[in-house]
């Protein structure tokens, strides 16, 4: 036998909430706090399902909600995150303080979709409607085989709180394969002279389940750091750091070939040298980035988790 039902469905109100119901809900949560939605309706004297109370509170009554029109900056963030995450409204909402998933979903369907279409962009694929490829297409060298690969990085919650789990999905259209990822949480501690930042990131192992002939398989491990603390920048322009190690089925060691991944939201470049010998100077010389940055400290070093033997990549937000 399971638990007893949360409410008598036949004795609950439906439809728009009245002012009195709102006040009852607000007063109850102010006194007793959020949670325990199951017992809330009865305790608060509401003839509503607990689920309905939760939705009403989260989407409309919470005091920290930002009402009003979306700004251009918020529009841009939503578009970029949608390109990266798809219809993961709750994750997108997590990046926009004061906005709810429902609000963003509605805004997307009523405004942004049309905006993108008017610009000639498919709102689902974020590609040009006439079929031309967008900036998401980059050259991607894998061992001796040169292929063109569209890579989409899906990091679902690299934003605070620090213990959020990060999921990563990589799709390679050129390889005609959807990679399967096995997440495992790793913890990294990053220190510099003044601060100590402890963060939980996710390390992913990429498995190519079925490889087309003549296509190399890729084994890729990735870990994503939290956005950097450059708070003066809009959130979508803050640096995040992703560390990746790769090897291919046709090479047992990670050679020094140049690789470049990019997509609309995350721009990724890697040094043309092995990480074990990487230095700030040769990266600056390439104009790739101003420093070989690990975590938040901006110094040249290798990732603790890779034991100094893996290639490190730096990813940053455009």
The site for DNA (CB under 7 A) is made up of 1-7, 13-17, 35-38, 50-52, 54-56, 59-60, 87-91, 101-103, 105-107, 109-111
CB of 22 to DNA, least distance (A): 8
CB of 39 to DNA, least distance (A): 8
**Nearer of residues 109 and 290 to DNA, judged by Cβ:** 109
On the CB side of 100, CA atoms within 13 Å amount to: 17
**Nearer of residues 67 and 253 to DNA, judged by Cβ:** 67
Helices (H), the chain: 19-32, 40-44, 50-56, 72-85, 89-94, 101-107, 113-118, 280-286
Q: What is the Cα–Cα distance from 93 to 200, expressed in whole angstroms?
A: 20
Q: What is the Cα–Cα distance from 279 to 283, expressed in whole angstroms?
A: 7
Residue labelled with tokens 């029109």: 69
CB of 33 to DNA, least distance (A): 13
**Nearer of residues 40 and 268 to DNA, judged by Cβ:** 40
**Nearer of residues 88 and 260 to DNA, judged by Cβ:** 88
Q: CB within 8 A of 4, min separation 6: which ones?
A: none
Reading the block at residue 115, the tokens are 């905006």
CB of 83 to DNA, least distance (A): 15
CB of 245 to DNA, least distance (A): 27
**Nearer of residues 131 and 161 to DNA, judged by Cβ:** 161
**Nearer of residues 18 and 135 to DNA, judged by Cβ:** 18
How many CB atoms are closer than 10 A to CB 261? 22
CB of 104 to DNA, least distance (A): 9
**Nearer of residues 85 and 303 to DNA, judged by Cβ:** 85
CB of 171 to DNA, least distance (A): 17
How many angstroms separate the first and last alpha carbons of the chain? Answer: 53
> What phi and psi values does residue 105 have, to the nearest 5 degrees?
-60, -45
Residue labelled with tokens 């709810």: 100
- Contact of 217 with 145, CB cutoff 8 Å: no
């Amino acid at each position: 036998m399971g638990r007893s039902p949360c409410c008598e469905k036949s004795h609950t109100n439906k439809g728009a909430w009245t002012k009195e119901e709102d006040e009852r809900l607000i007063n109850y949560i102010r006194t007793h706090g959020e949670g325990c939605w199951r017992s809330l309706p009865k305790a608060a004297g509401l003839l509503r399902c607990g689920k309905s109370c939760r939705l009403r509170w989260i989407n409309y009554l919470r005091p920290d909600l930002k009402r009003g029109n979306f700004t251009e900056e918020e529009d841009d963030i939503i578009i970029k995150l949608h390109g990266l995450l798809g219809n993961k409204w709750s994750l997108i909402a997590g990046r926009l303080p004061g906005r709810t998933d429902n609000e963003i979903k509605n805004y997307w369907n009523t405004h942004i979709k049309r905006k993108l279409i008017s610009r000639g962009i498919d709102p689902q694929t974020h590609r040009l409607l006439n079929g031309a490829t967008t900036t998401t297409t980059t050259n991607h060298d894998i061992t001796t085989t040169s292929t063109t690969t569209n890579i989409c990085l899906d990091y679902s919650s690299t934003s605070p709180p620090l213990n959020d789990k990060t999921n990563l999905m990589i799709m390679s259209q050129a390889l005609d394969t959807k990679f399967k990822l096995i997440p495992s949480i790793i913890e990294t501690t990053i220190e510099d002279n003044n601060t100590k930042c402890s963060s939980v990131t996710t390390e992913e192992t990429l498995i190519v389940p079925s490889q087309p002939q003549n296509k190399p398989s890729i084994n890729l491990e990735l870990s994503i750091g939290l956005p950097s603390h450059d708070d003066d920048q809009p959130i979508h322009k803050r640096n995040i750091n992703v560390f990746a190690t790769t090897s291919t089925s046709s090479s047992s060691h990670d050679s020094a070939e140049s690789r470049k991944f990019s997509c609309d939201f995350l721009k990724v470049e890697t040094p043309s040298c092995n990480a074990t010998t990487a230095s700030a100077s040769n990266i600056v010389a390439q104009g790739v980035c101003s420093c070989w940055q690990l975590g938040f400290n901006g110094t040249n070093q290798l990732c603790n988790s890779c034991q100094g033997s893996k290639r490190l990549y730096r990813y940053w937000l455009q």
